[in-house]
Structure 1
Amino acid sequence: MIVRNTIKLIIGLLAVFVTLAPLRAQQRDSIRFSLLTCAPGSEIYELFGHTALRYQNLTRGTDVVFNYGMFSFNTPNFVYRFVKGETDYQLGITPYTYFETEYALRGSAVYQQELNLTAAEKETLLGLLEENYRPENRIYRYNYFYDNCTTRARDQIEKSIRGKVVYPEGLPEKSFRSIVHEFTAQSPWDEFGIDLCLGAEADRPIDNRLQMFAPFYMRYFASEAYIVNEDGTKRPLVAKETKIVDVEPESVPGFPLTPLMGASLFLALNALVAWWQWRRKRILWGWDILLYGAQGLAGCIVAYLFFVSSHPTVGSNWLLILFNPLPLLYLPRMVYCDIKRKKDRFHVVNIVYLTLFIAIFPFSPQEFNLTVLPLALSLLVNTVSHVLVWNKKE
């Protein structure tokens, strides 16, 4: 009797296993992972687009987005921490419908690349993402070139694959700055601000892996990549691509004055002030406060990024030659000489200094924004006017 019952139990368990096995296989087959690439928005932190991972379990009705780009402006000292390079981002999980609606309302298209992963690789990727989402792991130190929402998603995909991902060769003669310029072309003021911060390191050629910091570059490389399996066979990384949010961005008129136009007008204004000073044989000390105060304040920012900030590429900024705190420190003495109508040797030295900077401008290892040239000429015109006024008095 015991033997008969045991046999029945074994047969029953086998029947259950045989019944559930196809269901398990079906459940594994119903899991899909996709790389999402979102078109740029109008805010400065949206200019380069965005990358996220979509997880679908069709059997369970699960459809969520793993997003490494979550941050909060309400974080204490956010601006200071951002400038210093200590911005913390985190992994968030959002229902796909919310994610889709957000980008549709923003006017940003979203492209989906379904990943060509095996059932085991999908399970591994899900485990990696769940591990990353644990409270002690979800926050990470953001780095806009080397460790961002795009590189994090790519790295998790690569870790899950049983084999090796082979990407196409990188696009030739690309640097961090040249890629940034591709996405800031319609936002010249944002481009100018970024160029003031980036140093010579941003102009070095970068390989395909470093080019993947930009979401749309990652999309391109993923579409051309293939996986070399452990047995040597190959398969494409992306099974198919679709445009899942098909919208056109709203045309928002930009500020009509570009930085180069503004700097050129500022140069003309300095020339007018210089002519007035020479004609009247008087120095407008209030104009010196405005001009050299602005130069010194800009220099404080550049110097802080150069010496203190942990952001990449800012520690090699040759603009420190032009924009540094020294004019701000010397400004009280300069204004004193202006008011007392005393000769100030600072301007003689400054003429030589600014002339040398303008002379090396085309040959610098760093690509300067062209707006810097009329700004440097403005300073030169002003300092020359001081010397001309003294000579005229004598």
Structure 2
Amino acid sequence: MKRTLFIYIYIIFLFFCVPATVAQVKPHQENATADSIRISLLTCAAGGEIYSLFGHTAIRYENPAQGIDAVFNYGMFNFNAPNFILRFALGETDYQLGVTDYEHFAAEYNYLGRDVWQQTLNLTEEEKERLVTLLTENYRPENRVYRYNFFYDNCATRPRDQIERAVNGTLQYADNMNDYGTGISFRDLLHRYSEGHPWSRFGMDLCMGSKADKPINRRLAMFVPFYVQEYFNKAKIVDKEGQARPLVAKEEKIVVTGQTPADFITGGITPMQSASLLLALVAAISLYGIRKGKTFWGMDLILFPIAGIAGCILAFLALFSQHPAVSPNYLLFVFHPLHLFCLPCMLFRVRKRKISRYMLANFIVLTLFIGLWAIIPQRIPPAVLPLALCLLIRSASNLILAYKRK
């Protein structure tokens, strides 16, 4: 049961990087001819799985003189590592830099139906040499593993940082990258790239707390590979003499699959539709129970434990996880562990049609939560409203029956 819960946590969090197979490729040799080297930023289109909704970034290193065409991928992880799921939930996941040959990389994304764009970097021979040295140093066994953070240190930000370190001078972007007046938040970007995937979006929304709704600057937005691609297209390298040149010499699509985001849209019933149907069912049964004097406590035996389990997951993330933006989470007023821990006592009183103080407290808390919905400093998923109403109605129904008996 615990493993199932942690798997759920693992799934609903966005993996922004798709793992690739490590190839035994020597990425750099000292006698390489610098002017024959081409280094490019690869941006991969989104896929249909939650970990691929945000695309992927890698660096391609071509050295024809040495017969090398390799891709440096900071998205490697080992799912079979000890306590991987628990460590991911805690924000203690280790990713690593891997190297694979380009043909394998391109074949993988072609098979997945995900296009790949290549931005050839306009680097000098010295800058190419420095970047290859940085990547080679990163690929050393003692250096390749890093502490992954899906907003601040991931497979998109790592290539950006290495390229910035390699330029001879400064990398200047067209926009003010440190301006927080962008009007966008982490949640906005999660929503933008989960369009057409309502269940993935709902899962992420449940786990993201109020910090996810605070404005972010453009540099923080570059955790999304497509933002790195966009800002690189407008960036310039200003050398120490003050001379400026575009960072990107050329952009082209090198893997064309014919697939579009519409091909990955998931169908079926949405979270809002599911929650609304559940609300209609709960309301109808509860109303019938009030009229007939029946508690239908079996419904409480289903609803409250599920809400309690969800609350345990949210509480675990809020209290123990190092993931950014998961705490504080105001959804804990609706889904919290007390639903689970207080269940035996609460059901005992409900079955006897006695007044349950827990049901009374739950009724008050949920009434306040729904009444103050508009001013809660967190964007609450709309599907939470009918779910909260289900718990509210069940509390009200049991209280009414208890007062009638009294």
Match of 1:56 in 2: 62
Q: What is the letter of the counterpart of residue 307 of structure 2? A: Q
Deviation at 1:83, TM superposition (A): 1.2
Structure 1 pair 353/381, CA: closer, same or farther in 2 (3 Å)? same
Match of 1:363 in 2: 375
Deviation at 1:118, TM superposition (A): 0.6
Within the alignment, does 1:47 sit opposite 2:53 as a pair? yes
The 3-state SS of whatever aligns with 2:65 is: coil
Within the alignment, does 1:28 sit opposite 2:34 as a pair? yes
Match of 2:256 in 1: 246
Match of 1:373 in 2: 385
The 3-state SS of whatever aligns with 2:133 is: helix
Q: What is the letter of the counterpart of residue 369 of structure 1? A: P
Larger displacement relative to structure 2 (165-174 or 85-94):
165-174
Within the alignment, does 1:209 sit opposite 2:219 as a pair? yes
Match of 2:311 in 1: 299
Q: Is the 8 A contact 1:35 1:51 kept in 2?
A: yes
- The within-5 A match list for 1:56-205 is 56-169=62-175, 172-205=182-215
C-alpha distance in structure 1 between counterparts of 2:103 and 2:372, whole Å: 54
Deviation at 1:340, TM superposition (A): 2.5
C-alpha distance in structure 1 between counterparts of 2:168 and 2:114, whole Å: 34
The 3-state SS of whatever aligns with 1:230 is: coil
Deviation at 1:286, TM superposition (A): 1.6
Q: Is the 8 A contact 1:106 1:249 kept in 2?
A: no
Q: What is the letter of the counterpart of residue 339 of structure 1? A: R
Query: Could you tell me which of 320, 323, 336 is aligned with 1:308?
Result: 320
Q: Percent identity?
A: 50
Q: Which runs of 5+ in 2 are unaligned?
A: 1-29
The 3-state SS of whatever aligns with 2:156 is: helix
The 3-state SS of whatever aligns with 1:149 is: coil
Q: Is the 8 A contact 2:346 2:359 kept in 1?
A: no
TM-score (norm 2): 0.88
TM-score (norm 1): 0.91
Larger displacement relative to structure 2 (356-365 or 132-141):
356-365
Deviation at 1:217, TM superposition (A): 0.8
Match of 2:364 in 1: 352
The Cα offsets for residues 330-378 of structure 1, whole Å up to 9 and x where unpaired, read as 1110111122332212222222111100112111111111111111111
Q: Which structure's CA Rg is the greater one? A: 1
Q: Is the 8 A contact 1:200 1:316 kept in 2?
A: yes
Within the alignment, does 1:280 sit opposite 2:286 as a pair? no
Q: Which runs of 5+ in 1 are unaligned?
A: 1-23
C-alpha distance in structure 2 between counterparts of 1:379 and 1:71, whole Å: 40
- Indicate the structure with greater helix content: 1
Q: What is the letter of the counterpart of residue 173 of structure 2? A: Y
Deviation at 1:222, TM superposition (A): 0.5
How many residue pairs end up in the alignment? Answer: 371
Q: What is the letter of the counterpart of residue 219 of structure 2? A: R
The 3-state SS of whatever aligns with 1:256 is: coil
CA RMSD in angstroms, aligned pairs only: 1.7
The Cα offsets for residues 165-201 of structure 1, whole Å up to 9 and x where unpaired, read as 1113259311111011111011100000000001111
